[in-house]
Chain A
Amino acid sequence: GAGVSQSPSNKVTEKGKDVELRCDPISGHTALYWYRQSLGQGLEFLIYFQGNSAPDKSGLPSDRFSAERTGGSVSTLTIQRTQQEDSAVYLCASSFGVSEKLFFGSGTQLSVL
């Protein structure tokens, strides 16, 4: 499809397990962003990529969170040793450039039991 694709759409995991969330941006978009939305909260910035590099990863909550982007395209957000407070919707967005409007995927609903 032509939009931002995220997988899985839902993920249920046990506390302490690692999870990987995937984002396929719109073809040709050089910038890629990760946000999360906890229940009843706004969108919390996590990290953004320009190409394969991450100029700003200031929003990653702890060192259990990491992200990478390869080939200027697909990005993976990894959460190690998940905790219940990691439960949220993780949203990926891409844009033509860093000062352009964002196009969002539908998100991954992560539930940590």
Chain B
Amino acid sequence: DQQVKQNSPSLSVQEGRISILNCDYTNSMFDYFLWYKKYPAEGPTFLISISSIKDKNEDGRFTVFLNKSAKHLSLHIVPSQPGDSAVYFCAASAATSGTYKYIFGTGTRLKVLA
């Protein structure tokens, strides 16, 4: 039972354009969401988060949008740079219900073409 899904295993984008990575979830109790970036042979690094009381959070080139009714979130990277090429994971937790483990999606491999 995959509670957090990233249905696109890979994505290629031209440098300077927008990258949009999508994530869907099934558990309506999830109330805190994070995005991580992972390079090969390294641990994931935190990018940006959003709580369910918001529908948008922005940090520099990264913006996360949350659509609670659709149980969908997306990460926008503008403009995309070659250094953004990595695997991106979304994760969710249900903190207000006392469930503190983070459930991760399977990841989307982003390739930014120079």
Contacts and interface: CB of A to CB of B under 8 A. Distances in A.
B46 A103 contact: yes
B102 A42 contact: no
A45 interface: yes
A107 B41 CA distance: 8
Given A48-B101, A99-B95, A105 B43 contact: yes
Interface in B7-36: 32, 34, 36
A99 B91 CA distance: 12
Contacts of B102: 33, 45, 102
Given A31-B100, A98-B95, A107 B105 contact: no
Interface residues of B, number: 24
Q: Which of A55, A58, A101, A105 has the most CB of B within 10 A?
A: A101
A31 B107 CA distance: 24
A48 B98 CA distance: 13
Taking chain B's interface residues, is the majority helix, strand, or loop, or is none over half, making it mixed? strand
Interface string A33-72: 1010000011111001010000110110000000000000
A35 B104 CA distance: 10
B32 A106 contact: no
Contact of A45 (B32, B41, B104): B104
23 contacts: A31-B100, A33-B102, A35-B104, A42-B104, A42-B107, A43-B91, A44-B104, A45-B101, A45-B102, A45-B103, A48-B100, A91-B43, A93-B43, A98-B100, A99-B95, A99-B100, A101-B34, A101-B49, A102-B44, A103-B46, A104-B36, A104-B44, A105-B43
Top 4 closest pairs, chain A to chain B, by CB: A104-B43, A98-B100, A42-B106, A43-B104
Given A42-B107, A56-B100, A99-B95, 13 more contacts: A42-B106, A43-B89, A43-B104, A45-B101, A45-B103, A50-B100, A56-B99, A91-B44, A93-B43, A101-B34, A102-B34, A104-B43, A106-B43
